[in-house]
Chains A and B, each alone.
Chain A
Amino acid sequence: MLSIHAVRRLRDFVLDVTFSVGEGETLVLIGENGSGKSTVLNLISGILTPDRGEITLGGRLIFSDEKRINIPAESRNIGHLFQSYALFPHMTVSENVAFGLWCRKIPKSEIAGSVAEQLAAMHLSGLAGVNVGRLSGGQRQRVALARALVLDPELLLLDEPLAAVDMRAQGAMRKELREHIRNAGIPCIVVTHTLRDALELGDRLCLIEEGRVAAVGTPEEVLGMQENGFIASFAGR
């Protein structure tokens, strides 16, 4: 379970969010561009530091300004998928997936086993030795997910996970993604701009407006708020 209360001064407004996500639950963050959705993910994974607040993950306090706790990003064990996937361009597919295990000083033979298993689960075995520059959008997405999941993260953060996947493949990829999230059984936060992602991936939706939680609830509840301008256009898409 993740619970967060975080405040951080951004250029145009003060981001101030409070919410929690249960085990095996997927929360979808929606909102205008620049409303602070990706910043929330960066605050949770430790790339950015809140000015104030408290973040707990699985009962472990990972940030608290009052208690002066700030576990660095590398020790949080959170899988963070970036919009562009950020696959390391100087490594092959299997080297990318092995990177986190290598950082954990796991013996080489074990790394090879885990990587092969993960690649097989993601239907990537045939691409193990390929440089990531040659992959399609969907393949990149799978490699990024494999790279995160091989570490058994306690939380999964997905920033626009299907944005770089070409339109025709999106439906199938979305189903596949949902299955991987379900199998992982951990809390998951997805940032998206598309209604289908929100409906098919989300157990709950959370609307962020200018750095604040404007609404949170089941997809029906949140999408029912037709008086809200963003929701009206989002649900109408």
Chain B
Amino acid sequence: MDLTRFRQESRVLGHGGRTLFGRAALTLLVAALLSLFLLFVTIPVASLFMRISPEAFFSSLAEPVVLDALSLSLITATVSTVLVVLFGTPLALVNARHDYRGREIVDTLTDLPIVLPPAVAGIALLMAFGRRGVIGQYLDVFGVHIAFTTLAVVLAQVFVASPFYIRQAKASFEAVDRLYEDAARTLGASPWTVALRITIPLAWGGLVSGAILSFARALGEFGATIMFAGNFQGRTQTMPLAIYTTMQGDLDAAISLAIILVVISFAVIAAVKFVTRRNV
């Protein structure tokens, strides 16, 4: 490239000294946008902590509505995460490793709950498992009722949270070099042993962070739960539902629950970062 052309291009690209002012303005603009956005995110979260005194926070922690919601949320989110991992791991492994007719369809279906509005998920679950639902009507014959029970809370959470784990698990399995699996097979490992001793340990970091994200999503589930499981304290009233309910009377309880969720969310982000960094 000759020098004249280079100068022409640098002028076009705005690399000349003339644009020093432009650059400073751009930096300022980006900094302003960034600060505004950070404030937008942090001020509401900080407001939660500013609107309640420590004494009020701890005294409302002892209220039954708060304790019930907290224990119900932790139990249901844990159970649903276990279910997601149990069903999702083999599915993710098969889809990461095997090409079969209809794999794209399975992938799309497992991703669907991410884009589906929770209210749609709630009414869909009700239409399937409700007393007169497509499946529910047969369960009803045997006296099995799912809708508006704790089981419904778990099902709603599994429905909305599963893609978070399955997507992450599939990506982690795909990242495992097949050479290790081939080597293990030539050493005498059955497909089962290869999965348990080679593929899963090598994808471990991704699986754990996927499970943590899925747990967090389950913990925050609101729309599908309130439609499919209802809002009964101690049975189906999880923390987000309890916040919604108590907010209309006891604002301190609502804020306390919100603060607990904020703390858990921070812990989740920290845990995911820790797990993924350790495995790099």
Contacts and interface: CB of A to CB of B under 8 A. Distances in A.
A76 B180 contact: no
B193 A88 contact: no
Interface stretch (B16-24, B139-147, B181-189, B242-250): B181-189
Contacts of A82: 179, 182-183
Interface string B168-201: 0000000001011011111111100100011001
Contacts of B182: 42, 47, 73, 80, 82, 86
B187 A89 contact: no
A223 to B, nearest CB: 31
B202 interface: yes
Given A90-B201, A90-B202, A73 B185 contact: yes
Count chain B CB atoms within 10 A of each CB in A73, A75, A89 and give the residue with the most: A73
Contacts of B190: 74, 103
Nearest to A48: B182
Nearest to B185: A73
A99 interface: yes
B189 A99 contact: yes
B179 A88 contact: no
A76 B186 contact: yes
Interface in A83-125: 84, 86, 88-90, 99-100, 103-104
Count chain A CB atoms within 10 A of each CB in B180, B185, B190 and give the residue with the most: B185
A91 B179 CA distance: 15
16 contacts: A47-B185, A73-B185, A73-B186, A74-B186, A79-B186, A80-B186, A82-B179, A82-B183, A86-B183, A88-B184, A90-B201, A100-B187, A103-B187, A103-B193, A104-B188, A151-B188
Size class of the contact patch on chain B: 10 to 19
A46 B185 contact: yes
Nearest to A105: B188
A190 B152 CA distance: 61
Interface of A: 42, 45-47, 72-80, 82, 84, 86, 88-90, 99-100, 103-104, 147-148, 151
B193 A46 contact: no
Contacts of A151: 187-188
A72 B190 CA distance: 9
A42 B201 CA distance: 25
A107 to B, nearest CB: 16
A103 B186 CA distance: 11
Given A90-B202, A104-B188, 20 more contacts: A47-B185, A47-B186, A73-B182, A73-B185, A74-B185, A80-B182, A82-B182, A82-B183, A86-B177, A86-B183, A88-B183, A88-B184, A89-B180, A99-B189, A100-B187, A100-B188, A103-B184, A103-B188, A103-B193, A151-B187
A147 B187 contact: yes
B180 A86 contact: yes
Contacts of B198: 88
B136 to A, nearest CB: 44
Ranked 7 nearest A-B pairs via Cβ: A100-B187, A86-B183, A103-B188, A73-B185, A80-B186, A86-B179, A103-B189
Contacts of B188: 74-75, 77, 100, 103-104, 151
Contacts of B202: 89-90
Nearest to A103: B188
B278 to A, nearest CB: 12
Contacts of B197: 99
Contacts of A46: 185-186
B202 to A, nearest CB: 6
A80 B193 contact: no
Contacts of A86: 177, 179-180, 182-183
A158 to B, nearest CB: 12
Count chain A CB atoms within 10 A of each CB in B180, B185, B188, B197 and give the residue with the most: B188
Nearest to A83: B179
